[in-house]
C-alpha cells in the first residue's frame, strides 16, 4: 500500500515540470509538415541535351493581388512571415548568402555586416537648443531596419531551356533580388527603385521550403515559398532577355511598349517550344 502511494506521489511530482513546459497550441493540431519539408531535387540536365536556351530577367510587382502572399504580413505573426523577413532572417543566421547588387552574376559576396547595412538605413537625429537652433556637432545616428512595407518588387533571373532527354521546356530560377523605393530623406521624393542585394535561388530554396504562405482557397493545403516559385503562382513581366547588347528593355522602351515587349518575349518562348514538335 505504501509503495502504491509512493508511486502516485512520484508520478505527480514528475508531471509538474512537464505540465509547466507545455506550450499553447495555436491550432487544434501540431504543425509537423512545413517545419520538416524538404525541397524537390532538380532533375539532372546534361549540356548535350539542351537544344535551346534563353536567359530571362523579370519583375514581380507586389502591388498585384496574386503577389500579395509574398508581401504580407508586414509584421511577422506566429505562423507566417513575409518573403523579405524570411530573406533577412536567413541572411543574418547565415543560411542564405547575400551578393552585391553591383551585378547579377554573384561575383561579390556580402558579409553579414554589409548585408545588414543593405537591409536598413542610418537616420540622423539632430539636436536643438531651447531656442530651436540646431546644435552643431551634437547630432547622432540610429539604425533602422527596412520592413516588408518598404519592398515594392522582386527581380528574378531565370533560365528557360528545352531538354531533349525529357522532351520538355523547363525553367530554373537562378537569382532573386528585393527592390525598394529609394526615398530622399530630405525632400521625401522618390528616386526610383533600388535593388538591395541578390541571393542565389538554388541555395535559398532550402530555407523557403520551411515557411508557410497564405492560401486563399484552403488553409489546410500547406503552401510554402518554395511551392510559390516551383509552381509559379505569381504574376510578373519581363524586363530583359539575353541579347548581344546586354541591355535592359527599360533602356529603350517605356509605358505600354514595355509591357508589349514583355508579351512578345513570352510568345517567343511559347512558339519556340511548339516549333520543336512535329504533329
Q: Count CA atoms within 13 Å of residue 135 on its CB side.
A: 10
**pLDDT, tens only, 173-206:** 999 999 998 877 667 677 788 999 999 999 999 9
Q: Which of 153, 171, 150, 151 has the alpha carbon at shortest distance from 162?
A: 171
* Reported confidence tier of residue 15, pLDDT bands at 50, 70, 90: very low
Per-residue pLDDT of 231-269, as tens digits, reads 999 999 999 999 999 999 989 998 899 999 999 999 999
Residue 255: C-alpha distances to residues 21, 53, 128, 239 (Å): 59, 28, 46, 12
CB 81 within 8 A of CB 211: yes
Q: In this predicted structure, what is the pLDDT of residue 20? A: 41
* 140-145/237-241 β-pairing: unpaired
Query: What are the Cα distances from residue 279, in Å, to 47, 163, 217, 271?
Result: 26, 19, 38, 14
Whole-prediction pTM: 0.82
pLDDT of residue 139: 60
Kindly report, residue by residue over 215-232, the tens digit of the pLDDT. 888 888 878 999 999 999
Give the whole-angstrom CA distance, residue 273 versus residue 270. 5
Q: CB under 8 Å to 113, separation ≥6 — which residues?
A: none
Amino acid at each position: 500500500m505504501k509503495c502504491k502511494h509512493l508511486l502516485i506521489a512520484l508520478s505527480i511530482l514528475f508531471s509538474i515540470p512537464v505540465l509547466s513546459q507545455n506550450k499553447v497550441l495555436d491550432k487544434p493540431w501540431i504543425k509537423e509538415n512545413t517545419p520538416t519539408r524538404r525541397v524537390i531535387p532538380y532533375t539532372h540536365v546534361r549540356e548535350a541535351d539542351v537544344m535551346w536556351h534563353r536567359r530571362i530577367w523579370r519583375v514581380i510587382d507586389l502591388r498585384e493581388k496574386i503577389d500579395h502572399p509574398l508581401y504580407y504580413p508586414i509584421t511577422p505573426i506566429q505562423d507566417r512571415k513575409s518573403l523579405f523577413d524570411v530573406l533577412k532572417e536567413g541572411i543574418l543566421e547565415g543560411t542564405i548568402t547575400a551578393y552585391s547588387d553591383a551585378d547579377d552574376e554573384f561575383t561579390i559576396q556580402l558579409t553579414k555586416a554589409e548585408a545588414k547595412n543593405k537591409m536598413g538605413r542610418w537616420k540622423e537625429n539632430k539636436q536643438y537648443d531651447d531656442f530651436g537652433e540646431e546644435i552643431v556637432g551634437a547630432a547622432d545616428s540610429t539604425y533602422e531596419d527596412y520592413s516588408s512595407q518598404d519592398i515594392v518588387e522582386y527581380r528574378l533571373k531565370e533560365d528557360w531551356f528545352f531538354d531533349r532527354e525529357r522532351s520538355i521546356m523547363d525553367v530554373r530560377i537562378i537569382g532573386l533580388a528585393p527592390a525598394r523605393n529609394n526615398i530622399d530623406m530630405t525632400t521625401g521624393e522618390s528616386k526610383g527603385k533600388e535593388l538591395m542585394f541578390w541571393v542565389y535561388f538554388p541555395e535559398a530554396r532550402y530555407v523557403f521550403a520551411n515557411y508557410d504562405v497564405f492560401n486563399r482557397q484552403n488553409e489546410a493545403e500547406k503552401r510554402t515559398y518554395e511551392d510559390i516559385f516551383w509552381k509559379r503562382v505569381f504574376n510578373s513581366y519581363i524586363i530583359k532577355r539575353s541579347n548581344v547588347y546586354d541591355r535592359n528593355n527599360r533602356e529603350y522602351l517605356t509605358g505600354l511598349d514595355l509591357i508589349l515587349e514583355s508579351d512578345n518575349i513570352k510568345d517567343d518562348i511559347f512558339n519556340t517550344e511548339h516549333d520543336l514538335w512535329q504533329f
